[in-house]
Structure 1
Amino acid sequence: MNAATARVRLESMLAELDRSIGVLRGDPLTAWDRSAGDAGSVLTDADRNRAMLEAATQQRRSVLEALRRLDDGLYGLCADCGSPVPEGRLEARPEAARCVQCQAKRERRR
């Protein structure tokens, strides 16, 4: 993927994540005026909302890091081994910082 295409895709992802994070940061507990029987579902919704917010925030960090790598001329190179990240991986995950092998190693360590 060339740098211009990568930048457009990453900036579009960033804008979408910012919109999603804004929506998710809304007050999920405004439904407390429902009946007491609904209180459990409100907590479940709040937990789900919190998990989605954390995931979106992490993905936003990854996109910002990818934009930084693009600015530094390192976009498309694995952050661990320095080898090129496969084109198909960047098409699927423009924010990818690692080749498939290094990403798999990282996930196994977790």
Structure 2
Amino acid sequence: MDDATARTQLESMLAELDRSIRVLRGDPVTVGDRSAADAGSALTDADRRQAMIDVATRQRTAVVDALKRLDAGDYGRCVDCRAPVPEGRLAARPEAARCVQCQSRRERRR
């Protein structure tokens, strides 16, 4: 993937993630005079919303890091082994920092 295409995709992803995070961080539902069941439902919704914010924030960090690698001339190289990240992987996940083998090793360690 050429740098201009990567930058366009990453910047688009960043803008979308920022929008999603802003929406998800909207005013929380107030419990007020609701029944206990309603309060439990609101809590579950709040927990779900926070989980989505956490995922979006992690993905946003990955996108910002990819833009930094692009600026530094390191985009498309694995941050662990320095091997090229396959084009197909970058097409599917423009923010990918690792080749498939290094990413697999990282996930097994978790």
Query: Does the alignment reach a TM-score above 0.5?
Result: yes
* In 2, Cα distance between equivalents of 1:60 and 1:85: 20
Q: CA deviation at 1:34?
A: 5.8
Q: Distance in 1 between matches of 2:89 and 2:57?
A: 21
Counterpart in the other structure of 2:106 = 106
Counterpart of 1:52 in structure 2 is 52
Determine the C-alpha separation between the residues in 1 that align with 2:33 and 2:96: 43
Asked if the contact 1:86–1:99 (Cα under 8 Å) also holds between the matched residues in 2, the reply is yes
Runs of 4 or more consecutive aligned structure 1 residues displaced over 6 Å after TM superposition:
none
Q: Would you say the 8 A contact 1:76–1:85 is kept in 2?
A: yes
Residue 51 of structure 2 aligns with an amino acid whose one-letter code is A
Unaligned runs of 5+ in 1: none
Distance 1:2 1:34 in 2: 56
> TM-score, normalising length from structure 2?
0.96
- CA deviation map 1:50-80 (0-9, x unaligned): 0000000000000000000000000000000
SS at match of 1:75: coil
Q: 1:35, 1:67 → 2: CA distance?
A: 46
Aligned length: 109
Partner AA of 1:91 in structure 2: A
Query: Residues 28 and 45 of structure 1 are in contact (CA less than 8 Å); yes or no, is this contact kept in structure 2?
Result: no
Distance 2:58 2:2 in 1: 24
**Contact kept in structure 2, 1:28 and 1:49, CA below 8 Å:** no
TM-score under structure 1 length normalisation? 0.96
Percent pairwise identity = 70
